[in-house]
Amino acid sequence: MEDASIAPRPVAGAATTVPAGLAIGPDSAYLFVAAAPPPPPSPLASTIAALLTGEKWNGVDPHTGKTVISYSFAGETSSYSYSGADWNSSYAGTMRPFSDADRVVTRQILDTIEAVANVQFVEVPDTYDQVGLVRYAYSSVVQSHAGMAGIAFFPGTDPSAGDVWISTEISGGMWDFFRPSVILHETLHAIGLEDTAGSGIPASANIMPNTVMSYATMAGAVRGFLAAYPAEPMPFDVAALQLLYGAAATNAGDTVYDVSAPGFRTFRSLWDAGGTDTVDASRVKSAVDIDLTPGARSKIGFGIGAQGHFDGGGFQQAFHKDTLGIVQGAIIENAIGTALADTLTGNAADNRLAGGAGNDTLRGGAGNDTLLGQAGNDWLDGGTGDDTAEYEGPRAQYVVSRAGDGFSVKDKNGGVDTLVGVERLVFSDARMALDLGDSAGTAAKLVGAVLGAAAVRNGPYVGVSIGLLEGGMTAHELARVGLDYVLGPRADDASVAQLLSANLHGGPAAAGQYLAWLQQGTYSQEDLVQAVAQSVENKANIDFVGLAQGGLDYFG
């Protein structure tokens, strides 16, 4: 069925409304069901496809664009219609209502789904003549007949569709650590997700930290135990839910994720819809390895123990350190490390990575990144793009020199950083260009030709010129700006020839030749400036080779 626009009707006991037909009788056919769309080409396409049951709920609120999914908790006045379903028909006879505590847990779980998918869960009373699409209750049949902790029915038109049953065997307090993950797992079944057993997802990826639809506590395990279980959709689950229902606009502003907070002491997945965002580990007491790449996992200083049982009777123990996953499609721009030796890895955005104290490794990736090694002996790799290493002290506090394919920056107060793929340095009072093959080199040569070699190392001219070039001005246009600045607007050819000869040769030796070229039309004034700027003599005058070895200081 295609998406339906449905007139709202009141919900009993509430002032809000939900689309009519979503809160329905237990014997009614469920109307708002649609086929799941195929996943578009992506690195996760086959994984997402493996997680889909083939159906989804499809009652869309025309005002919000959200798929509205009603839910209810079965009680003493509830009714079920499971005729002809062999042992399924025993559910109603062994039904027990959810405890108040598990109702709270369920609402919290539904909140985590709303935070990543464009759905709205609406609670309705569960009575003889009205129920939710998704219904919750305990039953002893789950364990005795199915041998499971929980079971749920996929979206569909049958009255049993969407029903979630949790085994009474795990309803006691000793299972409080595990039951929320079971409720989450079964809820995802009820809205369109499938188990991963036999799915073809590689064993290395088919684990609970990636998807709660897996039963594997570690790669290859068929069952096992975790010291803490996921209580929110994991990255693969989020990708599948967003295919079915669209992405939620959660955390669309500038968001800081403090991974030292208690809420991060378990498996977590981050979905972020926009803004400039930061993963902040500055208060974590052990080293972290944060990777901002969408789909990557990060170690945030906390681990979760695991036991795994394997086919053939094998048993292993493990310790999951990579407890944080960034959802495919989520862009987190910045990361802040700890006081220890961290590894921070950026993504394709313009990242700002701050290592803090300790001997850190910062990798910018694509984008125009800013890297702050801060205290310690750090490795800074800008990757592609125009990248900057930022230092807190004045220029005089640091010694910059060529080191292999990169540069070394030595802090006179202690600490040596190694830089590769970094084009700019920023100090508290000055800047330095390390990439003289690009705009900085062009600026230095043009300044040397028009203002003389001394101007390359003194004054604001190089900084202004770099800014103009990086702002879109061409070298031809910058040559004109330089001539007009020194000689006044549209100086005559003789003045231009004399200026360039004086700067290149220290006197009028070449002025005659330059003037002839200008008068004969061999060069325009701007083209002659560029030719002189590229000459061997000009490069020698400004010590271009030396600048390439030690960097070009400038202001701006």
56: enclosing H helix or E strand: strand 55-57
Q: Which of 141, 208, 143, 135 is nearest to 170 (CA)?
A: 143
pLDDT for the residue 12: 31
* CA pair distance 354, 280, nearest whole angstrom: 10
Give the pLDDT confidence score for residue 30 in this predicted structure: 57
**Length in residues, the chain:** 556
Task: Note the pLDDT of residue 17.
Answer: 42
Which burial class, exposed, middle or buried, applies to 329 when counting CB atoms under 10 A from its CB (0-12, 13-18, 19+)?
Answer: middle
Residue 94, pLDDT score:
85
What architecture is domain 248-433?
A: 2 Solenoid (2.150)
Cα separations in angstroms, 264 against 124, 257, 279, 299, 302: 32, 9, 11, 11, 8
Q: What is the pTM assigned to this prediction?
A: 0.89
Cα–Cα separations (whole angstroms), residue 91 to 65, 172, 183? 35, 19, 17
104 CB contacts (<8 Å, ≥6 apart)?
A: none
Written as six digits, the tokens of 19 are 């689309």
pLDDT computed for residue 555 by the predictor:
83
Q: Which CATH number fits domain 4-237: 3.40.390.10, 3.90.79.10, 1.10.10.10, 3.30.1240.10?
A: 3.40.390.10
Q: Which two tokens stand for residue 548?
A: 């390439």
Residue pLDDT, tens place only, 266-292: 999 999 999 999 999 999 999 999 999
**In b/e form, how buried is each residue of 176-187, taking b as 16+ CB within 10 angstroms?**
eeebbbbbbbbb
Q: pLDDT digits over 3-53, tens only?
A: 222 233 333 333 334 443 454 544 554 567 889 999 999 999 999 999 999
From first to last of the 556 residues of the chain, give the pLDDT tens digit: 222 222 333 333 333 344 434 545 445 545 678 899 999 999 999 999 999 999 999 988 888 999 999 999 999 888 777 654 444 557 777 889 999 999 999 999 999 999 999 999 999 999 877 889 999 999 988 887 667 899 999 998 888 889 999 999 999 988 999 999 999 999 999 999 999 988 889 999 999 999 999 999 999 998 899 999 999 999 999 999 999 999 999 999 999 999 999 999 999 999 999 999 999 999 999 999 999 999 999 999 999 999 999 988 889 999 999 999 999 999 999 999 999 999 999 999 999 999 999 999 999 999 999 999 999 999 999 999 999 999 999 999 999 999 999 999 999 988 999 999 999 999 999 999 998 988 999 999 999 999 999 999 887 899 999 999 999 999 999 999 999 999 999 999 999 999 999 999 999 999 999 999 999 999 999 999 999 999 999 999 999 999 989 999 998 7
Any idea where the domains of the chain sit in the sequence?
Answer: 4-237, 248-433, 439-554
Sheet of strand 388-390: strand arrangement: 256-258, 278-280, 334-336, 352-354, 370-372, 388-390, 424-426, 431-433, 552-554
Q: What is the pLDDT of residue 83?
A: 52
